[in-house]
Amino acid sequence: MSNCRRTAAEMVSPGRGILAADESIKTMSSRLEKVGIAPTADARRAYREMLVTTPGIAEGISGIIFCDETLNQQLSDGRPFAQATREAGMLPGVKVDTGAKPLAGRPGETITEGLDGLSARLAGYAAQGAAFAKWRAVLRITDDLPSTTAIRANAHALARYAAACQEAGLVPIVEPEVLMDGDHTLRRCAEVTARVHAAVMAELAAFGVDMAGVVLKPNMVVEGADHPHRATPEEVAEATVDVLRALPGDLAGVAFLSGGQDPARATANLAAIQLHHTPWPLTFSFGRALVDPALTAWAASGRSTVAGQEALADRVAANSAAVRTRELQATA
């Protein structure tokens, strides 16, 4: 088995998910400011140190995604983040895109950038100890969007990124996010998500990407945040798995993003999804749904490590239990 295949299998190993702590400097700074903390490089470092050193976190977390800044920082004991993450029993990963930028010719849509010089950067991250990488494409739903052009451009970039990752020995997390923003129905989200997946899979195949060395990070199929009716976990699970059925059977696994769902809803939906049988493991790669309570508790307690870590451990335990729903039901 290739290294990428082995790493990908470990990333989606039973009962474990991936922690997305890769907020860009801009996003992390604004989240710190919102909870009353000055957004310095050291505050961002201290916050990530609190997350990584959470006791027992590796039981429910297989890997942590960082941004470039964090990968170049050290914990207070001097260890680089990649080393500390491995020593805690998890794989370190890194976000390698440079963000979603306006897509020329398609007003209101974006293209995720970062392909220039990517191979050299990936080699550098691998030398720093990274095991996997992440690239996020962003698609927005309106009556007319996303356009086929934006879907195709983003799918193409994702595939070039994924092929470059595998050449560098890093597992690509392929994240095509269809945003929850808007008042669209669940059915419309399903239709758009299916179109996006079809385009991404076609481009991955065209670039010869080994699917058994890829972790897909999709949105769940949910209604728009402004839609008046909230779908039940069973409805979300059925619609989500229905869309995923078109994915190739040799894909290493699927790790959902939370997309702005509140933490309890993301966990309930994840648990309901597990009741469906699929050829690939289905787990979580949440950002906000895992870390928001921890950031709030850490800030409200005057940066108490214990308070932040207790809040994170709660969310990790709940989501780890969610992915083990069938096993837990069988033993109940």
Quick check: 82 and 92 in contact, CB under 8 A? Answer: yes
Q: How far apart are CA 187 and CA 218, in angstroms?
A: 16
With CB under 6 A as the contact rule, which of the stretches 48-56, 71-79, 139-147, 287-295 interacts with ligand 5MM?
A: 287-295
Which residue is it, tokens 């798995």?
241
With CB under 6 A as the contact rule, which of the stretches 158-166, 252-260, 269-277, 323-331 interacts with ligand 5MM?
A: 252-260
**Tokens found for residue 162:** 């994924």
Binds ligand 5MM (CB under 6 A): choice among 1, 2, 3, 27? 27
19 DSSP β-pair partners: 64
Quick check: 207 and 288 in contact, CB under 8 A? Answer: no
Q: Any catalytic annotation for residue 59?
A: no
Q: Does 286 bind ligand 5MM (CB under 6 A)?
A: yes
Q: Does 24 bind ligand 5MM (CB under 6 A)?
A: yes
**Closest CB to ligand 5MM among 31 and 188?**
31
Torsion sign (Cα): 176, 180, 182, 188: positive
**Closest CB to ligand 5MM among 143 and 161?**
161
Q: Does 68 bind ligand 5MM (CB under 6 A)?
A: no
Residue 40, φ and ψ in degrees, nearest 5: -90, 165
**Tokens found for residue 140:** 């927005």
**Closest CB to ligand 5MM among 240 and 277?**
240
Catalytic residue among 23, 217, 223, 238: 217
Q: How far apart are CA 136 and CA 117, in angstroms?
A: 17
Q: Does 142 bind ligand 5MM (CB under 6 A)?
A: no
> What is the closest distance, in whole angstroms, from the C-beta atom of residue 168 to ligand 5MM in the complex?
20
Distances (CA, A) of 317 to 14, 57, 223, 273: 13, 9, 26, 17
Binds ligand 5MM (CB under 6 A): choice among 247, 287, 307, 312? 287
Q: Does 259 bind ligand 5MM (CB under 6 A)?
A: yes
**Closest CB to ligand 5MM among 226 and 327?**
226
Q: Any catalytic annotation for residue 217?
A: yes
Which residue is it, tokens 């470059």?
164
Buried b (16+ CB within 10 A) or exposed e, 235-257: bbbbbbbebbeebeeebbbbbbb
Q: Does 288 bind ligand 5MM (CB under 6 A)?
A: yes
Smallest CA-to-CA distance from 278 within 238, 236, 234, 318 is with 238
Q: How many residues bind ligand 5MM (CB under 6 A)?
A: 15
Q: How far apart are CA 96 and CA 105, in angstroms?
A: 25
Q: Does 258 bind ligand 5MM (CB under 6 A)?
A: yes
Catalytic residue among 49, 175, 203, 238: 175
Q: Does 23 bind ligand 5MM (CB under 6 A)?
A: yes
Q: Does 22 bind ligand 5MM (CB under 6 A)?
A: yes
> What is the closest distance, in whole angstroms, from the C-beta atom of residue 240 to ligand 5MM in the complex?
15
> What is the closest distance, in whole angstroms, from the C-beta atom of residue 288 to ligand 5MM in the complex?
3
Quick check: 67 and 25 in contact, CB under 8 A? Answer: yes
185 Ramachandran zone, left/alpha/beta (phi>0; psi -120 to 50)? beta
- Which residues does the annotation mark as catalytic? 175, 217
Q: Which residues bind ligand 5MM (CB under 6 A)?
A: 20, 22-24, 27, 99, 136, 177, 257-259, 286-289
